[in-house]
Amino acid sequence: MCGIVGIAGSYEGKENILRDSCRKIAYRGPDSQGVWLSQEGQIGFGHVRLAIQDLSVQGHQPMASADQRFMMVFNGEIYNHLELRAQLEQSAQAPAWRGHSDTETLLASFCAWGIAQTLKKAIGMFAIAVWDQQEKKLTLARDRFGEKPLYYGFTRQGLVFASELKAMMDVPGFEKTLNRDAVTLLLRHNYIPAPHSIFQDVFKLPPGTWLSLSEQDWQNRRKPEPQVYWSAYETARQQPKVHYESDDAAIDALAGVLSRSIQSQLISDVELGAFLSGGTDSSLIVALMQQQSAQAVKTFSIGFHEKKYNEAEYARSIAQHLGTDHTELYVSANDGLALVQSLPAMYDEPFADSSQIPMALVTKMASQSVTVALSGDAGDELFGGYSRYQRAASWWDRREKTVPLVRSLVASAAGKLAPGFGGNKKDKLQKLQEVLRATDAVDFYRQFVSYWKDPSSVVLGGRELATAFSLAPIGSFLETMMIVDTVSYLPDDILVKVDRAAMACSLETRVPLLDPHMFEFAWGLEDKYRVRDGQNKWLLKQLLYRLVPRSLLDRPKKGFSVPMGEWLRGPLKDWASDLLDPVRLRKQGLLDVAQIHERWQQHQAQQFDWSPHLWGVLMLQAWMDHYDIQG
């Protein structure tokens, strides 16, 4: 795992710029640092390395292809790179290998098959920048699901790109102009969805795409449209359903595809471990991982002193049953308070999933024992696991049974009544109005994953931009919710949360459920294998029951969350009060002071738990302070 930076254009002192940018993200790759400049001096790459495969100097980056045509910086892992090497050797297209890194494999594949075809063949997580000396083209590419980040944008001098925004902010000509439209999206979702970023003229490369730029492009600040080499949405939409002769046959099929994915992700020259929350997904990953390991797998979990949030005791019982080498850490409010100050630097742009706090703590704990950790992320998106799916489905069913005229009348009444109320009642009436007026299932579901229901009224001068919620519904209502989350919430919240927290302590994370074969298998399932008899993730649980006693598993899910509502009334109150001070907000001129002040007061009076809404505003304000950003 690594960090990459690059510039293209008329920058003076390119080497110094790149080295300075590398220093800002050195934690992503503490093992070595490298800089390369093209002969013409127009292109420059920087790389910081966390050595995972081929720890020798043969894995050092930036790396050139054997024929010197391609120069590349690469962040990630290619799990099937040995298979790619074998294909190259069988077709007599392999070079004389210098080492055994997947970086060298990618470069040889570019030479043999071209960049676009290589991306389609490669299975892994990655952010890549490649300079083609022959075609004079710069290509940026990102993995299928967006596990690895890649920002890019333009300055007066040319193009700049990096794994994180902080590596770009001090590049000469970079304008830290706040994108108010992105702030509007932040308040709705508590994250900023790709391709948008918190800054104007800076973008996130969407998952499953590549972007090719010429010298004329960066000289003229022209942004070509990213090209799609793989689409989760299209794959899900077109995936045929598979008929299984029995439930056991479906369970066996799942065991096979998931075990193969885990096996491929155990490739490493350093020690591996896994996160174990005690929930279905992480428990299944660890159980199958332990089956393939001759030694006790190192596992890690976080606990809370507040019992209603704590699952550490369950994780401990599962670890004991599986025979893992288990470590746990209990988190207090003071731990959260101590960490909050570092979140803006860690997450690089405003990000407001409060489970970022326990994630940062568990990754730090794991990094003291291992360099790579597997996680159970994506089980909810692939197997219908989120509890909100059942709530939303219940609302959708009632809505569809209501005749359109009644829907329209009730929505109109709710809209007229809402302004006469404050706080929670107003919020519920607005939600009722919006779900009744939703144009389709995607628009309807949007209300269930929104925080501020009308964020453009909160962000002064902000408007909402198009996101994944403009996609057309597919399949069943459950499948529509799952695919929207897969292309929005998963890459822009879950995977961001994991990547930034882990990389801050030089830990690589891997997600076996995001193998493309695993994705195709999951989308070949009928809904009865996802939810049955009120039980979500039904198929995952049936496989897990073969490996872990039901008595350790069958309990309500608590989720990976913190008691943020209580913390904002207690140990975080003074910190939050300063950031939400009406005088400060009014002077800033970015947000509607009255709406924020009202919710802060109601939260303190325990009239309603507004912590998810307030956390988005707090993370924005803390980020602006840290990077000295003006409204």
CB distance 283 to 548 below 8 Å: yes
DSSP code of residue 524: T
Beta bridge partners of 43: 8
CA atoms within 13 A of residue 200's CA, in its CB half-sphere = 10
Structure tokens at 594: 């009255």
Q: Cα torsion at 223, 228, 232, 236 (round to 10°)? A: 130
Question: By three-state DSSP, how is residue 110 classified?
Answer: helix
Closest to 352 (Cα-Cα) out of 176, 511, 564, 506: 564
Q: Cα torsion at 422, 425, 430, 436 (round to 10°)? A: -160
CB distance 371 to 52 below 8 Å: yes
How many beta carbons lie within 10 A of that of residue 230, not counting itself? 16
Beta bridge partners of 210: 141, 227
How far apart (Å, rounded) are the C-alpha atoms in residues 426 and 9? 52
Q: How far is CA 182 from CA 194, 197, 464, in A?
A: 10, 6, 8
Question: 202-204 and 372-374: which strand pairing?
Answer: unpaired
Distance separating the N- and C-terminal Cα atoms of the chain: 35
| 3 state SS for 448-489 | HHCCCCCHHHCECCCCCCCCHHHCCCCCCHHHHHHHHHHHCH
CB distance 474 to 353 below 8 Å: no
Closest to 22 (Cα-Cα) out of 14, 420, 154, 396: 14
What is the chain's length?
631
Instruction: Give DSSP secondary structure letters for 361-374.
Output: HHHHHHHTT-SEEE
Sheet of 151-154, strands arranged across: 32-37, 43-49, 2-9, 158-162, 151-154, 202-204
Q: How many helices (H) and strands (E) does the chain have?
A: 28, 19
| 3 state SS for 306-349 | CHHHCCHHHHHHHHHHHCCEEEEEEECHHHHHHHHCCHHHHHCC
Say which amino acid occupies 333: A
Please confirm, yes or no, whether 2 is among the known catalytic residues. yes
- 455 phi, psi to nearest 5 deg: -65, -25
Structure tokens at 47: 């790389």
Closest to 525 (Cα-Cα) out of 382, 376, 380: 382
Beta bridge partners of 36: 45
Which one is catalytic: 2, 22, 111, 505?
2
- 58 phi, psi to nearest 5 deg: -70, -15
Task: List, by residue number, the catalytic residues.
Answer: 2
